[in-house]
Amino acid sequence: MFNNRAGSSTTAAPGFVIAPIYGPENNDRTSAVSKSGNTSTGNPMGSQTYTGSPLFAGYLGGTWTATLWGLESSAVTGAKDANNLVLISTTTFRTTTSGNFAGTINQPTTAAAVPGVVSGSDRGTFQMRVWDTQGGAIATWDQVLQNPNVMRGVSDIFTVPFSLGGTLSPPNTAPFLQGLQSFNVSVVPEPSTIALGIIGTGCLFLLRRRK
C-alpha cells in the first residue's frame, strides 16, 4: 500500500515504515540541497537530519503531489536519478502539520498494481517522487525534469521484502512500503562558477583551433 507511515512489525507482512517527507532545507524555496535517509525517529532508524519542516498540503504555498513508481525487481535497470520504473500510484499530502501525520501522505483506497509481478516469489522495487505541481501547471514527472526551478524530491530505490498483494493462495493483502526512507524536496542546483569557467575555457579553446 502506498503509505509512508504504517504498520508495526518489520519481520512479518505487511511490514513497517516510518519515512516522513521534508521540505527544503531551512524552508527555503530556492534551496538546492538534496538529502535522503531516515532520521533517528524513522523506521529503520537512521542518522540523517533535516532543517526543513515535514511536508503537508499547502506547504510554502505549493500544491504537492506524491507519486509511487515501481516494477518487478528483476526487470529494474538504472539508478536513483535515471531508471525504468513506471508510475503506479498518485496521491496528496495530509493537511496535519504535527504529530504522527507530519510529512505523511494520504493512503490511496486501492493498492497499486506492480507491472511484471505474477507470483509470490516475485518482489516489487519502488521509488517515491514528490513535486510541487504549481497549481496543476506541472502535471507530470517529465515536466518536472524540464524545469529546474520546480521543487522536487525522490527517494532512494528500494525493494519491499514481502510478497505483493494477491500473489499467494489464499490471496494475501498488499504490504506496506517497508524499505522506503525519508527525503526532502529542493530545486536543481545551478552550474557552479568553476564548472562554468571550465565550459568557457573549453569553448575558447575550440574557437582558437578553428582559426
Model confidence over 151-195: pLDDT tens digits? 999 999 999 999 999 999 888 999 999 999 999 999 998 875 444
pLDDT at 147 over 70: yes
pLDDT at 210 over 80: no
- 190 SS3 class: coil
Beta bridge partners of 128: 68
pTM of the model: 0.89
Contact assessment for residue 180 and residue 19, using Cβ atoms and an 8 Å cutoff: yes
Is the dihedral angle over the CA atoms 206, 208, 209, 211 positive or is it negative? positive
- Residue ranges per structural domain of the chain: 5-210
Q: How confident is the model at residue 197 (pLDDT cuts 50, 70, 90)?
A: low
